[in-house]
A and B are shown apart, each in its own frame.
Chain A
Amino acid sequence: MLRSTLLAASALALLSGAVPSAQAEGIIGLVTKTDTNPFFVKMREGAAAAASELGYEFRSFAGRYDGDNETQVEAIESLIAAGAKGILLTPSDSAGIVPTVQKARDAGILVLALDTPLDPPDAADATFATDNYRAGLLVGEWAAAQMGDDIDDAKIALLDLSEAEITVDVARNQGFLTGFGVDVKDPNRMRDEDDPRIVGNDITQGAEAGGRQAMENLLMRDQGINVVYTINEPAAAGAYEALRSFGFADQAMIVSIDGGCPGVQNVAEGIIGATSMQFPLLMASLGVEAIHEYVTKGDLPEPTPGLDFFDTGVELVTDQPVDGLESISSAEGLEKCWG
């Protein structure tokens, strides 16, 4: 089993264009949560381009599904065995992968977390990520501004990723609620709020089918829902289908997070009100450059002031800008979107 997975993983590395160059400076490995999500596809492109530019051999690995810790452990082990210089990792299980990361660091490999911090964050040498809390905060503030004086009449549906309280899921959810002006109680826990404006939480698995079903379930609890937060844009597309089938397409505003091209297109068509765009390609290329800096000069990147990671930025995309919130239009967004 182990062997077949390793074989599959190395076959994948070959597929992703790992051509060892003659004057290779060493190996840089990328380990993503999955290879299904266009977000990680974009990340792989960014890392591969930066690595070949700087003369490194590039190898990429991926878990089989979001949350697949074992495959990521095997990937890091094989990178240790290959004597990699640096590893870029988007951890599926932020805490579970830490002992394996420590093994890699003990072997002298620089390990950078991308997109999702480790738990504890300093278990990686550095982290390049979207500030997911801020991404949620932006769409929350936007939604609050759109509601204006009617904010006390808001009825909020929260369409999360899963029930497992994954870091990204929690940060986006709590950021949104904070931005909207809801008392979130413990900011590290979802579903502990008691604000009567919240109709409920449901899970989507970050995909259209889940988004539709979750929205249907919450509409059955309260048909007056007028604010819909979604963990990502596929879930938002599913939620819109549910609203449309109930005949409520114009009643609710949908906000989301990610900045994938289909999502930005949905902003342009008024299906999603606003979305927070993140920059996977930048995360990956900055990560590769940081490894190069470390290998050649021994310098480590400094985290963004006030945060324990290097913030790769987030931009609010909407065609209904509000005062006091910087945003770009969907037309500008379509030029920057990923996937």
Chain B
Amino acid sequence: MTEATGAPGRRSMQDFEAALTGSATEVATFDEPRRSLLQQVQHFLHSHPTAVPVIVLLVSVLIFGSIANNFFTPFNLTLIVQQVTIIGILGIAMTLIILTAGIDLSVAAIMVLSTVVMGGLGVNLGIPSVIAVPIGLLCGIACGAVNGGLVTLFRLPPFIVTLGTWKIFFALVLWLSGGQSIRSQDIDIHAPLLKVFGGTFNLMGAQFTTGSVMMLILFIVFWYVLNWTAWGRHVYAVGDDREAAALSGINTNRVLMSVYAVAGGLCAFAGWVAIGRVGSVSPQSFFEGNLDAITAVVIGGTSLFGGRGSIIGTLVGALIVGVFRSGLNLSGVDVLWQQFAVGALIIIAVAIDQWLRKVSG
């Protein structure tokens, strides 16, 4: 342009392009500088968010398999799957909410409350368990709807809402249960349906529970829903940019409300599975289940800022924690270093997420 303004002499209307003489004439393009190897890796991981946790999982299984006795056996590997079942299902609920750029601190409280409702009705009050279980599930959905209502109608931040309901739901747990566990043997007599997900079956040296199979089915269902249904895409859209989603015609409040209600239902379902796994209805258990679920989601590569991540990553994240716990335990490592390792994993996972968000081009 400098050449045009500075050019002396006559100019006609048709002549104006003469100003371009000597200047660049290409149409605007994106710069495609040669990427370093590191940038290529960054791009690959940015477009395949589940790759990092999968690599970590495989490497840790190989390492523990070579250093820890009894680790690399079908029985132990499936035992790890059993051990992550509850946190895995809570993780599905947490992933849905984190994808909308929210957080739910009340997941474990909803779960325990639902188990106390199911157990209280089915065992203590002697109501048939085919009725007690659906009421427990409805209780979870209702709790989720309370969270969703406060987040959407009153526009309160999800962190604060669920910090509050976490306390409230746990208070209800204590009020309903008196802090008292319902014994496994009493459930067997009065409401065996509550323990349906505790059933085990063996396959070539491996042991599965119906609960862990159910968890895997739920992961597949929600993977499909998130990727191949309008509702699933709306969840991502709302989390990525709520305003843009609203402008493109998505009823964001309705999406958020449904996400919290579905998450509440999933938590109640996790409770049903937990009764099978733990054996009893225990108001004291899973006090930190919410943080364990967030841990699985974060290690699984889902961004806490919403809109990016995958449900399968959460399964892998939960498995990584389970593999570390089991592997370190079988190596005879003191329990406090197991906590240390999980803490380090969280920080590394978030650091990788931050690095990927800065991806260029």
CA distance A138 to B308 in the complex (A): 57
Measured between C-beta atoms, what is the minimum distance from B178 to chain A in Å? 7
CA distance A339 to B287 in the complex (A): 20
Residue of A nearest to B183 (CB): A262
* Interface presence of B192 (CB below 8 A): no
Q: Are B284 and A234 in contact (CB under 8 A)?
A: yes
Q: Are B79 and A216 in contact (CB under 8 A)?
A: yes
Q: Are B174 and A36 in contact (CB under 8 A)?
A: yes
* Interface presence of A303 (CB below 8 A): no
Q: Are A207 and B174 in contact (CB under 8 A)?
A: no
CA distance A55 to B277 in the complex (A): 48
CA distance A203 to B338 in the complex (A): 11
Given A38-B180, A212-B278, A241-B184, A221-B287 contact (CB < 8 Å): no
Q: How many B residues touch the partner, as a band?
A: 35 or more
* Interface presence of A271 (CB below 8 A): yes
Which of the 9-residue segments B31-39, B130-138, B225-233, B324-332 touches chain A? Answer: B324-332
* Interface presence of B200 (CB below 8 A): yes
Measured between C-beta atoms, what is the minimum distance from A171 to chain B in Å? 19
Interface residues of chain A: helix, strand, loop or mixed (majority): helix
* Interface presence of B251 (CB below 8 A): no
CA distance A202 to B75 in the complex (A): 20
Q: Are A237 and B70 in contact (CB under 8 A)?
A: no
Residue among B198, B280, B334 with most chain A CB within 10 A: B280
* Interface presence of B24 (CB below 8 A): no
A36: B residues at CB distance < 8 A = 174, 179, 283-284
Q: Which of A202, A237, A339 is the one whose CB lies under 8 Å from B179?
A: A339
Measured between C-beta atoms, what is the minimum distance from B172 to chain A in Å? 12
A217: B residues at CB distance < 8 A = 325-326, 329-330
Measured between C-beta atoms, what is the minimum distance from B204 to chain A in Å? 16
- Encode contact with B along A179-222: 1 for CB under 8 Å, 0 otherwise: 00000000000010000000011110111111011001100110
- Encode contact with A along B179-195: 1 for CB under 8 Å, 0 otherwise: 11101110000000000
CA distance A36 to B278 in the complex (A): 19
Residue of A nearest to B175 (CB): A15
B82: A residues at CB distance < 8 A = 216
CA distance A203 to B329 in the complex (A): 11
* Interface presence of B124 (CB below 8 A): no
Q: Are B339 and A163 in contact (CB under 8 A)?
A: yes
Q: Which B residues between 18 and 39 are near A, CB-CB below 8 angstroms? A: none
Q: Are B279 and A65 in contact (CB under 8 A)?
A: no
Q: Are A262 and B181 in contact (CB under 8 A)?
A: yes
CA distance A237 to B174 in the complex (A): 20
Residue of A nearest to B174 (CB): A36
CA distance A223 to B83 in the complex (A): 18
A153: B residues at CB distance < 8 A = none
Q: Are A209 and B70 in contact (CB under 8 A)?
A: no
* Interface presence of A117 (CB below 8 A): no
Given A191-B334, A205-B287, A208-B285, A234-B181 contact (CB < 8 Å): yes
- Encode contact with A along B298-341: 1 for CB under 8 Å, 0 otherwise: 00000000000000000000000000011001101011100100
Q: Which of B76, B278, B285, B332 is the one whose CB lies under 8 Å from A241?
A: B278
- Encode contact with B along A261-283: 1 for CB under 8 Å, 0 otherwise: 01001100101000000000000
Given A36-B174, A209-B286, A212-B278, A339-B180 contact (CB < 8 Å): yes
B284: A residues at CB distance < 8 A = 36-37, 205-208, 234
Given A237-B183, A245-B200, A339-B179, A212-B174 contact (CB < 8 Å): no
Q: Are B83 and A265 in contact (CB under 8 A)?
A: no
Contacts beyond the supplied A207-B284, A209-B274, A212-B279: 17 A-B pairs with Cβ under 8 Å: A163-B334, A205-B285, A208-B181, A208-B278, A208-B282, A208-B285, A209-B278, A209-B282, A220-B75, A220-B76, A220-B326, A220-B329, A237-B183, A240-B184, A241-B278, A266-B183, A339-B180
What are 21 contact pairs spanning A and B, CB under 8 A?
A: A37-B179, A38-B178, A41-B179, A163-B339, A206-B284, A208-B181, A208-B279, A208-B284, A209-B282, A212-B279, A217-B329, A217-B330, A220-B70, A220-B79, A221-B69, A221-B70, A221-B330, A262-B181, A262-B183, A265-B183, A269-B185
A residues with CB within 8 A of B: 35-38, 41, 65, 163, 191, 200-203, 205-210, 212-213, 216-217, 220-221, 234, 237-238, 240-241, 245, 262, 265-266, 269, 271, 339
Closest 4 CB pairs of A and B: A241-B279, A209-B285, A207-B284, A208-B282
